[in-house]
Amino acid sequence: MSAAPAPAVGAPVGMPHPFRMPSGTSLRFALLILSTSAAMAVAFGGAVSTAAYFGLGGDVGSITAALECTADNFQDMAADPEELTRRCLLPDFGNETAIELAALGALWLAVGVVYWLLPVHRIRRRRLRPLPAAGFADIRRTLDELVALAELRCRVRFVVNWRDLGPTGLAFGRAGRRHVMLSRGLLHLHAQDPEAFRAIVLHELAHLRNRDVDVAFLTLICHRLFVTALAVPLAVTAPFALLVGWLLMPQSLLYQLLLVLAQCALAATVTLTSTAVLRSRELYADARVAVWTRGAHSLRRVLAAQHGLEQTGRRRPGYLRSHPTAGKRLAALSDTRLLFGFGPWEAFGLALTCSLVYQHVAQWTEAATHLGDRGSPLSAVVPAVLLGGGVAMGIWRATLAARLNHGRWADAHRTGLAMSAGLIVGTFGDRAHNTALSLGISNSLPVHLSWWLILGVVGYGFVRWNAATARVWAPVVLAGRRPLLLVVGGCAGGVALLSIWLGHAYAAGTPGFDLLQLPRPLNLLPTPLDYLGFVFSTTVVITPPLWVIALVVVTVGLPLAARFGVRLSGRARAEAPTAGPDRFLLQPVSAESSAALLAPPQLRPLRALAQGVVFSAAAGLGLWLWHLFCAIAFPWPIEWVGGVFTFYPVALAALLQLAVGFVVAWRHADGELRALHGILGTLGAGLLLPTAAFTARNHFACLRWGTDHVACRVAPDLAPTLSPELYIAAWTAALALLLIPAWAALRDGRRH
């Protein structure tokens, strides 16, 4: 990409360069491809499998018998799936993975054929003709100047729509054959208002320069193919399918209903994403014109006139428009920060799609790599790349753009909640859980709520971790010689961490997964203690290998290495003074402003850990004194709590660890860094508090009553290799990853 000309006149300081970072169009287009592929592959694969089953002599009776047998024997044989499969022979629907992949291949083959033929069809349908050579010498001269200004690497063929009297243009074509359509009214505008003519044509050439013509074509093809091949047939056949299911297999009605709702959610995602892609490309084309023409004054005048006309007519809702309003385009020309927005809806759509198809994609990965271990991070690599790659890149873009304006990304909290909601809502369309729900063998409500909480922690923690990492590494990226490599490296670290989280979280949500049962009356209603029991069960049943633990440690420690990266980038900047934040801005900044952008954030990890240790030592001493007082003078509180909840030191240590984390976060910087310090303080507290809780009970309270008392039962080993204290610290850190960032975001939001 060539260097930009002089900056726009009057551009405000901190206005980020729209073409120094990946565009929002690419991120939304990736979401569209993911959601379309998922919906079409699953729907067509299921339809082909069902048709093949009934075509080869299958009947409804065998399906019903297999479902009833599974429901009757599931509780006794959940720990041995192979024996359950042998006893209850499920109908053979063929190799569903191969069928779904074949459906996906057929989908994109059809898309490729339509993409190749669509430009020719458009030329013939609209009766477009090449721009004549005679009588249009001035226009051709102007067009040659504009093509030279655009620095296009492809040949452009100008065609004319003689039936269109309005001043419109259109860039279209396929790879190797690009066209720009000029209307008859636009040709007349060349003589009446040459500057407006240049602005409109430059806007269409900007689409070619941004390489988004293929994006627009594929977006339109995917959306129309999705509507005609899936959405319309689903709307027509869904009531009939629900009626047939209710008459023939009543127990499958809930499964069919949830499947229809999942497809409706995907349909809404595809529709909203396709319009978002088309709107985004228009804004980036305007930004390209602004860079070429030092402010796009002529384009602003055209848009201002169009804005006046739009205010007098009826308008469709913005989220359903394929083109942004003139007011939105004017705002983006005045403030390019609007081009770097990444908000809750994109995160929700990505998380929803990933959660809906996670089991399918994981099965494809396991079939290709011959994996059979439940919870293997390798089976979650592809979903993590699809989900985490898009979300992480959007977060880095938004955080860097906010940094260039000496601010911080304000949507981190809402985006984290939206990603959590997308992961949770997507589970309602998951095939395994729907089947278990229809058979009546799904997990209980406390287990479901605990699992959903785990997925929420995964989504929210991933967003906040990326936001904190991007913020502390922003000075290094702005000063680096190859900043995109640093951004990609940070996104790759997040994807690796997400693959581990997703692999364990989705495996733990399998129907029949063992849960540590709490004693009465604590097991009557869902409580946060169910979450602790669920994490305990996850860790014991799905024990991660050592390389996974090492990868988690390295990835989590990535934000802490930012200060070392700042030092290295400072040395590199001294050797190459031309590198710096000026590359990412439309207007040069002063030396003081540049130094402020490159200043490292106030991150003190060792201090946060030390404060966690000190505060936990004080809390542990308080625990000792309280148990000593109870053992000598007032034994009733601990004796009663210990009789109801034998392992009360676990909850006591976790609550005190969280309290220490909140205190450390309160004493440090704001936003993501406040939350990061709080989590580090929680980890520091985990070094002492669990041990203090167990020793306080064993050495004081149990000496008072004796070790045979119900409140003094020795806690069993939670794992053969790790101590209970280490597990308690890990559980509490997972809770802190959810609670402390949420509290920091709410507190800072009220202050601002």
Residue 357 predicted with pLDDT over 70: yes
Residue 57 predicted with pLDDT over 60: no
Q: What's the CA gap between 664 and 648, in Å, rounded?
A: 25
> In one letter, which amino acid is 61?
G
Query: Which pLDDT value is given to residue 314?
Result: 60
Beta bridge partners of 179: 157, 172
Q: Domain 117-217 has what CATH class?
A: alpha beta
Q: Higher-confidence residue: 74 or 336?
A: 336
Alpha-carbon distances, residue 368 vs 50, 114, 411, 518 (angstroms): 23, 30, 38, 40
Average pLDDT rounded to a whole number, residues 343-363:
81
Radius of gyration of the chain (CA): 30
Alpha-carbon distances, residue 34 vs 28, 129, 273, 502 (angstroms): 10, 37, 11, 18
Tens-digit pLDDT profile for residues 438-472: 666 666 676 777 788 878 888 888 888 888 888 88
Q: What's the CA gap between 125 and 159, in Å, rounded?
A: 13
Least-confidence region, from 12-21, 65-74, 197-206, 331-340:
65-74
Helix (H) or strand (E) holding 350: helix 344-369
> In one letter, which amino acid is 273?
T
HSE on the CB side for 471, CA within 13 Å?
Answer: 25
What pTM, to 2 d.p., does this model score? 0.79
Tens-digit pLDDT profile for residues 493-551: 888 888 877 887 787 777 665 555 555 555 555 555 555 555 555 555 555 666 666 67
Q: Higher-confidence residue: 284 or 482?
A: 284
Kindly compute the dihedral angle of the four CA atoms of residues 361, 367, 368, 374, in this order, to the nearest 10 degrees: 70
Residue 606 predicted with pLDDT over 70: yes
Query: Which pLDDT value is given to residue 31?
Result: 77
Q: Higher-confidence residue: 532 or 88?
A: 88
Let me know: does 671 contact 749? Beta carbons within 8 Å.
Answer: no
Query: Which pLDDT value is given to residue 718?
Result: 42
Average pLDDT rounded to a whole number, residues 259-277:
80
Residue 269 predicted with pLDDT over 50: yes
Query: Which pLDDT value is given to residue 205?
Result: 93
Query: Which pLDDT value is given to residue 30?
Result: 82
Average pLDDT rounded to a whole number, residues 587-602:
76
Residues whose CB falls within 8 Å of the CB of residue 17, separated by 6 or more in sequence, listed in order: 4, 336, 583, 584, 585, 586
Average pLDDT rounded to a whole number, residues 683-694:
82
Let me know: does 712 contact 701? Beta carbons within 8 Å.
Answer: yes
Tokens matching residue 429: 């369309």
What does DSSP say about strands 156-161 and 177-183: parallel, antiparallel, or unpaired? parallel
Average pLDDT rounded to a whole number, residues 137-157:
88
Residue 569 predicted with pLDDT over 80: no
Residue 7 predicted with pLDDT over 60: no
Let me know: does 391 contact 409? Beta carbons within 8 Å.
Answer: no
Helix (H) or strand (E) holding 180: strand 177-183
Query: Which pLDDT value is given to residue 203?
Result: 93
Residue 491 predicted with pLDDT over 80: yes
Q: What's the CA gap between 657 and 689, in Å, rounded?
A: 7
Average pLDDT rounded to a whole number, residues 262-269:
76
Let me know: does 686 contact 732? Beta carbons within 8 Å.
Answer: yes
Helix (H) or strand (E) holding 169: strand 169-174
Query: Which pLDDT value is given to residue 639?
Result: 66
Query: Which pLDDT value is given to residue 288?
Result: 92
Let me know: does 202 contact 150? Beta carbons within 8 Å.
Answer: yes
Query: Which pLDDT value is given to residue 719?
Result: 41
Evaluated on CA atoms 148, 154, 157, 161, the torsion sign reads: negative
Query: Which pLDDT value is given to residue 720?
Result: 40
Beta bridge partners of 158: 180
Query: Which pLDDT value is given to residue 716?
Result: 45
**Residue % of the chain over a pLDDT of 90:** 5
Q: Higher-confidence residue: 729 or 316?
A: 729
- Band the pLDDT of 602: cuts 50, 70, 90: confident
Mean pLDDT value across the chain = 76
Q: What's the CA gap between 448 and 454, in Å, rounded?
A: 10
Query: Which pLDDT value is given to residue 74?
Result: 52
Tokens matching residue 32: 């569209």
Sorted by where each begins, the domain ranges of the chain are 117-217, 344-600, 602-751
**Could you give the angle at the alpha carbon of 502 between the alpha carbons of 540 and 473, nearest 5°?**
115
**Could you give the angle at the alpha carbon of 117 between the alpha carbons of 116 and 118, nearest 5°?**
100
What does DSSP say about strands 177-183 and 129-130: parallel, antiparallel, or unpaired? unpaired
Q: What's the CA gap between 645 and 631, in Å, rounded?
A: 18
**Could you give the angle at the alpha carbon of 118 between the alpha carbons of 116 and 121, nearest 5°?**
130
Average pLDDT rounded to a whole number, residues 574-578:
53
Alpha-carbon distances, residue 640 vs 499, 517, 610, 712, 715 (angstroms): 43, 20, 35, 12, 18
Residue of 234, 498, 229, 214 whose CA lies nearest to 358: 498
Tokens matching residue 436: 């278990």
Query: Which pLDDT value is given to residue 88?
Result: 64
State the maximum Cα–Cα separation within the chain, in Å, rounded to a whole number. Answer: 108
Q: Higher-confidence residue: 395 or 705?
A: 395
Tokens matching residue 234: 């689903």
Tokens matching residue 707: 């070790």
Query: Which pLDDT value is given to residue 715?
Result: 47
Residue of 748, 640, 634, 648 whose CA lies nearest to 698: 648
Average pLDDT rounded to a whole number, residues 348-373:
74
Residue 119 predicted with pLDDT over 70: yes
Q: What's the CA gap between 677 and 663, in Å, rounded?
A: 10
**179-193, 307-321, 568-582, 668-682: which has the highest mean pLDDT?**
179-193
Tens-digit pLDDT profile for residues 224-239: 888 887 778 777 777 7
Query: Which pLDDT value is given to residue 713?
Result: 56
